[in-house]
Structure 1
Amino acid sequence: MKVKKFTAPTMPEAMKKIRAELGEGAVILNSKMIYTGGFLGLFKKKNIEVIAAIDPNSKQATKERRNPKYQQEVKKQVPAQVPVQESAKTDEGNSSLQFKKEITELKSIVQQLKSNNGFEHYPEDIRHLLLYLKEQEIDENYILEAAEHLVSLRESKDSLTASELKSTVSDFMKNKLETLSFGGTSYKKKYVNVIGPTGVGKTTTLAKMAYEAVLERRKKIAFITTDTYRIAAIEQLKTYAQLLNVPLEVVYKLEDFQKAIEKFKDYDMVFIDTAGRNFREEKYVKDLEKMIDFKNDMETFLVLSMTAKERDLNQIIHNFSTVPIEKFIFSKVDETSSYGTMYNILRNEEKGAAYITAGQSVPEDISEASPKGIVDLVMEGKVK
């Protein structure tokens, strides 16, 4: 097992060094705060010392074993006076014992990491807060970012209560989102379009947005649906259209869509419901682009369900990268107890959110998204 020591001003920088040299298969054995330099005990520089190792079963370690330099080093360790056959047997036996030893060490390391989650060098009160963020599935880089902020603040103050620490982290996370665009429909464009995978609640979300436009903004609106794959979706939207006393057009192809657009040319706004497909496959996104002109006076929102895996959501976002998405809508937040994925997506994509939906009731179960609303969900761990 290759073990190496790394030193950096912050944990994120240390992790970059570790991954660059040891690869993604590296594991952290230990980390601690150290102070270097200074003069007469003053002006010392704070650093983090991290000891990391390569998992012997990782691709990185396997690649290194195949390196000619590595093989030459192994050959040097074999005594010259030992016969070739005997040396091979001894080598094989030693390799087997070494491999078993490495596996035992690795199991021990994994157990240690499970118990302290890599935050053992932080003070206990800070560590508890970091572990909570990890449970909320906040990205590790963003957790360490918040941790460094807490440590810096801790050094400038004598003490901070648990409540003050939590409030400090909340404010820090909110500030990181402040540069993004939040809030609902802008009412600056005629067409409002919601897209996303099947089962995320697009039709219900669109109806909630339409209710606001009609009842609060007094807009003359119409519905268009391209979701001809599910009869239930059409019937659902027809019901909402009847309740609002607004027209609905069902379109099956591009020509139908263009006719519907012409029919509603005198309306203030047109709300467009799209078919839910497996948008992890790019071909469905291309099919959608053939039907709808996303650049024609249109505001498009991508609906993401918080019950889905973050990895799958990232793939969906990637596949929609050719579509000019205004903001995200996070749905089904009432069906989960971890909300870190929302924060991660906003930070990673540098794009804001329009709405958060929590339930099937129309128009009640929807609220405009905001940095405070997102972070409060994360820190409270529940929908209020």
Structure 2
Amino acid sequence: MHIRTFRAASLQDALEEIRQQMGPDASVLHTRQVRDGWMGWLGRTYVEVTAGLRDAIDANGRPSLESDDLEENTFAPEEDASPRQSVFMHSASMLAGPLQAYREQLIDSGVAAITADRWLRATESFAAGLGETHGQPWMEHLQRSIARELRLGGPIRTQPGSKHIVALVGPTGVGKTTTIAKLAAGFRIQERRRIGLVTIDTFRIAAVQQLEAYAEIMDLPMEVVEKPAEMQPAIERLGDVDLVLIDTAGRSPSSDARIDQLVELLRMAQPDETHLVMAATSSVSTVRSVLRGFAPARPTAAILTKLDEATNTAGVLSALSSSDSLPRIPLSYLTNGQQVPDDIQVASAETLLSRLLPTTLQNQHLDAA
């Protein structure tokens, strides 16, 4: 085997250099973080990666090339994978035993192989930076590595005497109306704010009745809007409130006409915040479709619902954190049940990652904030 060691500013840079100099068939054997300078002081931190490449075998079962004679142009990328993906796939078998098991579980949970490998390489690099080589708390390192990619936006902020408008949008069946009720109750009871409700979900009579019931119980003013022109007068009729919560009809992210109607209603409402509501039980492809379909509504944050029904969060987190082609919006809240106002909490990496894989969920229950 031809073995070489590469040093670069990041793991991604090192893998790219390996691909360029050794070809896509190279395997990563070891990674660690090193610091230059006098005895490691006052220097820069690098990632050092040791890679190996097996000698080619001829028809007689003998090495066809000496290891020192291997040339970069001897190797070609695999047809079904990009050069960078090939390096990841060939190096995946070199992961530590527990990490290899985690890789399989991540992929089974819907995480793309290239994303799983990126997370796990970052995990190895993180552990190497701590100077640890054996007996790793691998799950903790994996959780920390993924946490670095998460965007958390914090809760809705209100000021007494200043009307703050927040709209909730999203597909059908994700729990927007119940989430509106939880937010309204929380701000009314805990924050002692004056709350007004608006619903434009007139496609479902039951949704209007449900929100009306919550408004009556909490003694909150509520308005029903059917057309964009009715939005501003309805908000004004709510009076001197601190927070206006707007409930919208569920829409298919693939229905351009319905999304256009939503955008027009939001344009008239002029919300300070728009939260895209998605279910934690959704598949990776569904989350991507929702992010893409509701992009015209310009969501400023995302709410993840039904966390109590999700077997794991790996897939949905990969869709939220790893795409270069979709908008990356911060998570604001998590919901984990139907109880109003208890089953909602501000989004935290700890809660999301405690449910990363199915094996970490046995006999566990999420405590509401």
Aligned mates of 1:135, 1:304 — CA distance in 2: 21
Pairs aligned (count): 302
Cross-structure match for 2:254: 280
Residue 183 in structure 1 maps to residue 154 in structure 2: yes
Secondary structure at 2:297 match in 1: coil
Cross-structure match for 1:65: none
Aligned mates of 1:300, 1:331 — CA distance in 2: 16
1 or 2, which has the higher helix percentage? Answer: 1
Cross-structure match for 2:182: 208
1:263-310 deviations in whole A, cap 9, x for unaligned? Answer: 124222211110112122222111112222277252110001122222
Task: Give the superposition deviation at 1:248.
Answer: 1.4
Residue among 279, 298, 317 paired with 2:272: 298
Residue 340 in structure 1 maps to residue 318 in structure 2: no
Q: Is the 8 A contact 2:228 2:265 kept in 1?
A: yes
Aligned mates of 2:203, 2:175 — CA distance in 1: 15
TM-score by length of 1: 0.68
Secondary structure at 1:303 match in 2: strand
Aligned mates of 1:284, 1:8 — CA distance in 2: 53
Say what the alpha-carbon RMSD is for the aligned residues.
3.5
Secondary structure at 1:293 match in 2: helix
Secondary structure at 1:300 match in 2: strand
Q: Is the 8 A contact 1:137 1:341 kept in 2?
A: yes
- Partner amino acid, structure 1, of 2:270: N
Cross-structure match for 1:351: 329
Aligned mates of 1:221, 1:30 — CA distance in 2: 60
Cross-structure match for 2:345: 367
| Greater Rg over alpha carbons, structure | 1
Cross-structure match for 2:354: 376
Residue among 134, 140, 146 paired with 2:113: 140
Cross-structure match for 1:33: 29
Aligned mates of 2:230, 2:118 — CA distance in 1: 51
Task: Give the superposition deviation at 1:211.
Answer: 0.5
Moved more, 217-226 or 150-159: 150-159
Structure 2 unaligned regions, length at least 5: 32-47, 55-74, 83-88
Aligned mates of 1:14, 1:140 — CA distance in 2: 19
1:9-31 deviations in whole A, cap 9, x for unaligned? Answer: 899789989x9xxxxxxxx9995
Q: Is the 8 A contact 1:33 1:46 kept in 2?
A: yes
Task: Give the superposition deviation at 1:125.
Answer: 2.7
Q: How does 1:141-290 map to 2 (within 5 A)?
A: 141-152=114-125, 153-154=127-128, 157=131, 159-162=133-136, 164-177=137-150, 180-187=151-158, 190-290=164-264
TM-score by length of 2: 0.70
Moved more, 299-308 or 144-153: 144-153
Aligned mates of 2:239, 2:179 — CA distance in 1: 24
Cα 1:359–1:173 change in 2 (3 A) is: same
Residue 307 in structure 1 maps to residue 281 in structure 2: yes
Aligned mates of 1:294, 1:354 — CA distance in 2: 24
Q: Is the 8 A contact 1:342 1:374 kept in 2?
A: no
Q: Is the 8 A contact 1:303 1:329 kept in 2?
A: yes
Cα 1:275–1:292 change in 2 (3 A) is: same
Structure 1 unaligned regions, length at least 5: 1-6, 20-27, 36-43, 61-115
Task: Give the superposition deviation at 1:192.
Answer: 1.4
Secondary structure at 1:262 match in 2: helix
Aligned mates of 1:333, 1:233 — CA distance in 2: 22
Residue 46 in structure 1 maps to residue 19 in structure 2: no
- Partner amino acid, structure 2, of 1:119: A
Cross-structure match for 1:23: none
Task: Give the superposition deviation at 1:119.
Answer: 3.0
Moved more, 317-326 or 142-151: 142-151
Moved more, 120-129 or 364-373: 120-129
Aligned mates of 1:208, 1:168 — CA distance in 2: 34
Task: Give the superposition deviation at 1:342.
Answer: 3.2
Q: Is the 8 A contact 2:223 2:238 kept in 1?
A: no
